[in-house]
Amino acid sequence: MARKRTKKKRKIKGKSIIILMLIIVLIGFIISYMYNLKISVITVKGNTLYSEWEIIKLAGLEDYPSSMQNLSGLIENRLEKNPFIKKATVDKRFITEVNITVEENLPLFYYVPNQKTVLENGEETDSNFSVPTLVNYVPNKIYEDFVADMAETDYEVVKRISEIKYDPNAVDEERFLLTMNDGNYVYLTLSRFDKINQYVDIIKEFNNKKGILYLDSGEYFQVIE
């Protein structure tokens, strides 16, 4: 008579179940801890118009909230909604350390014909800033090139300009006259506009004398007695 074969059932030991449950609980705890881990350090670079604290508030991080609930992309989007911020880059280190770098859309000048402040990207705003004043109308194509050249100008030099006048002559329709805060005048043309970045070095050569610096054709200084 043939013997019946009996299948041996594998018994899952209670100890293994407990270990598995502990692992699941531990993973859940780690995820919960990481999700609620708060930002502890925030650094800000590239800011001129806004203080570090103002940038932090614009980023929505003034209460140092959860890092995982404030991903880098979300923070960048919040900052870039501001018309005075062209680009924001957020880098996180050790989860709780947030480094923010902003590229600001700086105000260039106040355009009297439109009664608006013009920003680096050509947009206009009603906000007031301590910037040069462009006192008269500039033809559209020349105006666009002028804005582009101003945007490329060293901002420390821009802050030295008090007033700008579109001042074409029979030779050059792209000529401008700049009145500087130190009492000097500068003639510039768009094709040589980058010369204004050398203003500080050039003017040092004239021992604090006041006059007119011609950078539109040649490079000479006429002293005003």
Q: DSSP characters for 62-90?
A: TT--BSTTS-HHHHHHHHHTSTTEEEEEE
Hey, what domains does the chain have and what are their CATH numbers? 36-104 (3.10.20.310), 107-223 (3.40.50.10960)
What is the model's pLDDT at position 2? Answer: 55
Q: Tell me the per-residue pLDDT of 179-215, one tens digit each, with 9 for 90 and over.
A: 999 999 999 999 999 999 999 999 988 888 899 999 9
pLDDT averaged over the chain?
Answer: 90
Structure tokens at 119: 């920003």
The mean pLDDT of 53-73, rounded to a whole number, is: 95
Give the range among 10-14, 24-28, 32-36, 172-176 with minimum mean pLDDT. Answer: 10-14
* Burial class of 107 by CB neighbour count within 10 A (0 to 12, 13 to 18, 19+): buried
What is the Cα 52 distance to its own chain's centre? 12
What is the model's pLDDT at position 15? Answer: 76
What is the model's pLDDT at position 5? Answer: 56
- Asked if 196 and 218 touch (Cβ cutoff 8 Å), the reply is no
Residue the block writes with tokens 């870039």: 80
Q: How confident is the model at residue 3 (pLDDT cuts 50, 70, 90)?
A: low
Comparing 187 with 10, which gets the higher pLDDT? 187
Q: Tell me the per-residue pLDDT of 19-60, one tens digit each, with 9 for 90 and over.
A: 888 888 778 777 776 767 899 999 999 999 999 999 999 999
Q: Tell me the per-residue pLDDT of 93-105, one tens digit each, with 9 for 90 and over.
A: 988 999 999 999 9
Give the pTM.
Answer: 0.78
Structure tokens at 83: 């018309």
What is the CA angle 151-215-179, rounded to 5? 65
What is the model's pLDDT at position 22? Answer: 82
What is the model's pLDDT at position 23? Answer: 83
Taking the C-alpha atoms of residue 27 and residue 14, their distance in angstroms, rounded to an integer, is: 20
Cα–Cα distances (Å) from 181 to 82, 131, 194, 212, in that order, read 30, 11, 19, 13
Comparing 16 with 6, which gets the higher pLDDT? 16
Query: Which residue type is seen at 182?
Result: D
Sign of the Cα pseudo-torsion (125, 126, 130, 131, in order): positive
Structure tokens at 13: 């030991």
